[in-house]
Amino acid sequence: MRWGNQEGVGKPLEMKKAVMPYGVPPWLVDMRHESTHNELPLLERLQKGVAFARQWLWDNFWTRPVHEAMKKAVVTGRDPNEIMIEERRRRRRRW
């Protein structure tokens, strides 16, 4: 979900549209929004979300060759190194 935030997506509906092509279900976006801005959902629901996210990462990134996973990650056409550099700069500014 951090990726969605970095892409300038802020509202839950926009986030759902942004992650839909990646196979992230709307209920996971809603749960993330609830957890961040309201109260934590029930533990069972959080566990379901973690299980889905872990499996999604496994299927989409961890089991693929690095070059293939990076291609899938960079749908925006941006260089992965530039994205990492920007993230590091953001983190430094926060401190």
Number of domains within the chain = 2
Residues 27 and 4 in one domain: yes
Q: What is the mean pLDDT of residues 31-41?
A: 89
2-12 per-position pLDDT tens digit: 555 555 455 66
| Mean pLDDT taken over the chain | 76
**What per-residue confidence (pLDDT) applies to 8?**
47
Report the distance separating Cα 25 and Cα 17, nearest Å. 10
The answer to whether the Cα torsion of 40, 45, 51, 55 is positive or negative is negative
Residues 53 and 74 in one domain: no
Determine the pLDDT at residue 46.
92
16 and 58 both lie in a single domain = yes
Please tell me whether residues 51 and 31 are part of one structural domain: yes
Percentage of the chain exceeding pLDDT 90: 15
Shared domain for 31 and 2, answered yes or no, is yes
pTM (two decimals): 0.54
Do residues 40 and 58 both lie within one domain? Answer: yes
Range of the domain at 52: 1-63
The reply to whether 48 and 75 lie within a common domain is: no
Q: What is the pLDDT of residues 39-51, one digit of tens each?
A: 889 999 999 999 9
Determine phi and psi for 8, rounding to 5 degrees: 85, 15
